[in-house]
Amino acid sequence: MRFDVILDSFMSAPDMVRLGKLAEEYGLGGVWIANNFNTRDAFVNFVPLAMETGELRMGPIAVSPFELHPQKIAHSLLTLNEIADGRAQIVVGGGGGTAENIGHKPHRMVRAVRECVEVLNQAIAGKPGGYHGEMYQVGWLDVSWARQPAPLIYVGANGPQMLKAASRYAPAIMTSDFTPDRIRWAHEIIDDGLRERDCDPATFPLNNFWAWHVQHSREEAHREARIYLAVRGTIYADYIRDVVDDGEAAIVTAHENAFMKAYMQKSPDIEGVPDEILTKIVDGGVSASPLSEIDREIERMQAFKDAGLTEIALCVYSDPERAIRTIGEHLVPALG
Amino acid sequence: MDIDIILNEFTSPREAVELGLMAERYGMRGVWSSNYGWSRDSFMTLSLLADRSSRIRMGPMAISAEELHPLKMANLLFSLNELSGGRAMIMVGGGGAVLQSIGKERRRMIRSVRECLQILKGASPEKTLNYDGDMYKVWGYKPAYATDEPPLIYYGANHPQSRRLAAELADGVITSDFVVPLMKEFVDATRADLAAAGRSDADYRISNFWAWHIKQDAEASMREARRELMLRGWLGEQYFAPFLEPDEVTFMRDHEQDFLNAFLRGTHEIENVPETLVDKMVENISFVGGLDRIDEAIETLRAFEDAGLTEIALRVHDDPADAVRLIGEHIVPALKN
């Protein structure tokens, strides 16, 4: 099982170099940066790290064709891939964040992502030509300068429609905040599509964005995890029953605004939601164990692996250096 | 007058480091990367140079808001600027071949550039930008990381309306393929535009894209210049009228397809056009020939400087390292004296 880390979007290039090199030393597979409208351009910001490492993969998560034309994505990705000697990676998503901040409303997301990945695949195949999709056109695509091993292209997919579609064309898939049971559910959706194109579901690259809040104490870990629950898919209607029962789910759904308020204020206090429910969400929906109970997280990673996850991207928050060391010293030797 | 180099569209990030550091050692001011539909990402091409150089400026040329939303453009520009410690620059354009390559068409060019310049100049690490333009929207943008000396923002403008817009909003303007008499008129008009906009011309940058083909091998230089001739002002009448006879201009316009065919086929042979006319064109609208033409090039550059250019951007083509070396050894010292 491959372990990646997702670093803070606001991180500077020198900090990324420092942490990326550490991740490489510990045998982690890759580093991701969440694509954010208020941050450095993720492709440019990876360049110093690409030059300072030799094995580590790197790339943004997730870039949407609603914010950047697929041909521009292809050129940025392949230029980073050239600098990194074939170690670039990307998650293509149908959202969301940046698109909204530039006034673009995503629509026909499944189609848009498919066309975007088709453009990327065509570029990687190296055959010059045009692309005439329903949503995106490329007059002439010729990246004959791109001669490195192909970058890894993931489709960011959580819903059944996107998962099913991605299974038919995506080189790799990344889900987010899926529990091990939810990973089994995803496999039920994608496996037929994978087999149709002769991909073995057991080895197909399936990654999962997963929040990592392991700290010295359980209290510290839970406090940090609670702050970020608003940006976990887990608390929303389609997924909340993965970690709590129906009655508890109704309470969570009724208080979604309280989660967002806590996130905006960087507070662990979520008004109106009982502690025992929050504890269940955190225990089931993220990794928030104390260091002394790291075996619990190793068991969770084993459960992910058993469910069919081939890699996991652990989103680290406070003290990313310690998080990388913990992952490198405990998870990688046990499951890597 | 400062000297910039425009790298060709095939330059890789590693080649850009070599050429950029060479240009830096020779005391040149800046390096531009060419943005073509088939080139590498033009910001990324310069990112290694940004990290490894210490004095030279760098930036992509030309980027249009229709191919890259101004907020995305801003983050790319500010990221390059941070990597270089405040030495980034950009030339915003109205969009051309790159737009066609992504299946888009140029529309409302002046409005598009106006909004783009307003967003690029309005972005700040201290104040949140909300921009509700006719063509572009930006909500809640505050790049807290963009604390370096702001990048220089140029507008590529050859016409009166765009020249006025540059004078109103940009840090500088870059024309392309303007011969000296045209440049004089343009600079005078720019100064009037700046005054009308209530701006001083003291720190306003005026540059001109100019093709450099001079090589040790004079014949190779002529072949390269002829091949690229179609791109010189897209054979627009205004660029050639100062030195061609009216009937020659008409003939040139009537044979545009022949010039285009030569460019697309990568050949110096321009069918159906007399060689004497081709030679007259390339010799007046670019630097061409063997090393014996360098002194003449220096005189032309001095004339550009006298016309009011603060810098010139010399576009190198085949064998760019040889071109940078020639420019660095001959042109830079001559203009510094």
- Residues of chain B in contact with residue A137, where contact means CB-CB under 8 angstroms, are 102-104
Using CB atoms, pick whichever of A12, A139, A142 lies closest to residue B100. A139
Tokens of A20: 């990326």
A136 touches chain B (CB under 8 A): yes
Q: Do A98 and B71 touch (CB under 8 A)?
A: yes
Q: Do A12 and B82 touch (CB under 8 A)?
A: yes
Answer whether B144's CB lies under 8 Å from B123's CB.
no
Task: Identify the band that residue A266 occupies on the pLDDT scale cut at 50, 70 and 90.
Answer: very high
Answer whether B161's CB lies under 8 Å from B179's CB.
no
Task: Identify the band that residue B74 occupies on the pLDDT scale cut at 50, 70 and 90.
Answer: very high
Cβ contacts below 8 Å, chain A against chain B, sum to 129
Same domain, yes or no: B253 and B301? no
Q: What is the pLDDT at residue A187?
A: 98
Q: Do A40 and B75 touch (CB under 8 A)?
A: yes
pLDDT in tens, B27-40: 999 999 999 888 99
A206 CA: distance to closest CA in chain B (Å): 29
Same domain, yes or no: B201 and B227? no
Same domain, yes or no: B155 and B183? yes
Q: Quick one: average pLDDT of A171-188? A: 98
Length of chain A: 336
pLDDT in tens, A245-256: 999 999 999 999
For residue A75, give the chain B residue with the closest CA.
B41
Q: What is the pLDDT at residue B103?
A: 80
pLDDT exceeds cutoff 80 at A96: no
Pairing of strands B205-212, B286-287: parallel
Which of A11, A43, A47 is the best mutation test for B, with the most CBs of B within 10 A?
A47
Same domain, yes or no: B150 and B185? yes
Indicate the DSSP class of residue A246.
Answer: H
pLDDT exceeds cutoff 80 at A86: yes
A269 CA: distance to closest CA in chain B (Å): 26
Each domain of chain A, given as residue ranges in start order, spans 2-214+288-335, 234-286
Which of A40, A49, A64 is the best mutation test for B, with the most CBs of B within 10 A?
A40
A78 touches chain B (CB under 8 A): yes
The type of residue at B206 is I
Q: Quick one: average pLDDT of B61-69? A: 95
Closest by alpha carbon to A282, among A302, A297, A292, A271?
Answer: A297
Q: What is the pLDDT at residue B96?
A: 77
- Residues of chain B in contact with residue A78, where contact means CB-CB under 8 angstroms, are 40
Same domain, yes or no: B229 and B249? yes
A81 touches chain B (CB under 8 A): no
Using CB atoms, pick whichever of A13, A38, A79 lies closest to residue B83. A13
For residue A139, give the chain B residue with the closest CA.
B101
A225 touches chain B (CB under 8 A): no
pLDDT exceeds cutoff 90 at B5: yes
Q: What is the pLDDT at residue B97?
A: 77
pLDDT exceeds cutoff 80 at B115: yes
Classify B3 as helix, strand or coil: strand
Tokens of A250: 């109704």
CATH number at residue B47: 3.20.20.30
Q: Do A38 and B142 touch (CB under 8 A)?
A: yes
- Residues of chain B in contact with residue A48, where contact means CB-CB under 8 angstroms, are 51, 83
Same domain, yes or no: B137 and B248? no
Q: Do A39 and B145 touch (CB under 8 A)?
A: yes
A176 touches chain B (CB under 8 A): no
A36 CA: distance to closest CA in chain B (Å): 10
- Residues of chain A in contact with residue B125, where contact means CB-CB under 8 angstroms, are none
Answer whether A44's CB lies under 8 Å from B47's CB.
yes
Q: What is the pLDDT at residue B336?
A: 86
Q: Do B102 and A71 touch (CB under 8 A)?
A: yes
Task: Identify the band that residue B94 occupies on the pLDDT scale cut at 50, 70 and 90.
Answer: confident
Q: Which residues contact A319 (CB under 8 A, 6 or more apart)?
A: none
For residue B101, give the chain A residue with the closest CA.
A139
Chain B contact residues (CB < 8 Å to A): 10, 12-14, 37-41, 43-45, 47-48, 51, 67-69, 71-72, 75-76, 78-80, 82-83, 100-104, 136-145
- Residues of chain A in contact with residue B145, where contact means CB-CB under 8 angstroms, are 10, 12, 39-40
pLDDT in tens, B168-219: 999 999 999 999 999 999 999 999 999 999 999 999 999 999 999 999 999 9
Same domain, yes or no: B56 and B143? yes
Q: From CA A283, how far away is CA A213, in angstroms rounded?
A: 11
Same domain, yes or no: B88 and B163? yes
In chain A, % of residues over pLDDT 90: 93
pLDDT in tens, A45-82: 999 999 999 999 999 999 999 999 999 999 999 999 99
B55 CA: distance to closest CA in chain A (Å): 18
Same domain, yes or no: B105 and B251? no
Q: Do A67 and B69 touch (CB under 8 A)?
A: yes
Task: Identify the band that residue A290 occupies on the pLDDT scale cut at 50, 70 and 90.
Answer: very high
Angle between helices A218-227 and A256-265 (to 10 degrees): 110
Same domain, yes or no: B119 and B175? yes
How many domains does the structure of chain B reveal?
A: 2
- Residues of chain B in contact with residue A36, where contact means CB-CB under 8 angstroms, are none
A40 touches chain B (CB under 8 A): yes
| Distance between first and last Cα of chain B | 10
Mean per-residue pLDDT over chain A, rounded = 96
Which of B44, B63, B135, B148 is the best mutation test for A, with the most CBs of A within 10 A?
B44
Task: Identify the band that residue B99 occupies on the pLDDT scale cut at 50, 70 and 90.
Answer: confident
Q: What is the pLDDT at residue B101?
A: 82
CA distances from B111 to A308, B68, B107 (A): 52, 15, 9
Q: Do A82 and B13 touch (CB under 8 A)?
A: yes
Q: From CA B10, how far away is CA A161, in angstroms rounded?
A: 40
Same domain, yes or no: B17 and B92? yes
Q: What is the pLDDT at residue B43?
A: 97
Residue A82 is inside which H or E element, if any? Answer: helix A70-83
Using CB atoms, pick whichever of A13, A82, A142 lies closest to residue B38. A142
> Which one is the CATH code of A2-214+288-335: 3.40.50.12160, 3.30.420.40, 3.20.20.30, 3.40.50.300?
3.20.20.30
pTM of the model: 0.95
CA distances from A288 to A222, A304, B22 (A): 6, 16, 52
- Which residue reads 């967003």 in tokens? B119
Same domain, yes or no: B135 and B223? no
Find the domain containing B276 and state its range: 218-289
Left, alpha or beta for A103 (phi > 0: left; psi -120 to 50: alpha)? left
DSSP string, B180-234: HHHHHHHHHHHHHHHHHTT--STT-EEEEEEEE---SSHHHHHHHHHHHGGGSGG
Mean per-residue pLDDT over chain B, rounded = 96
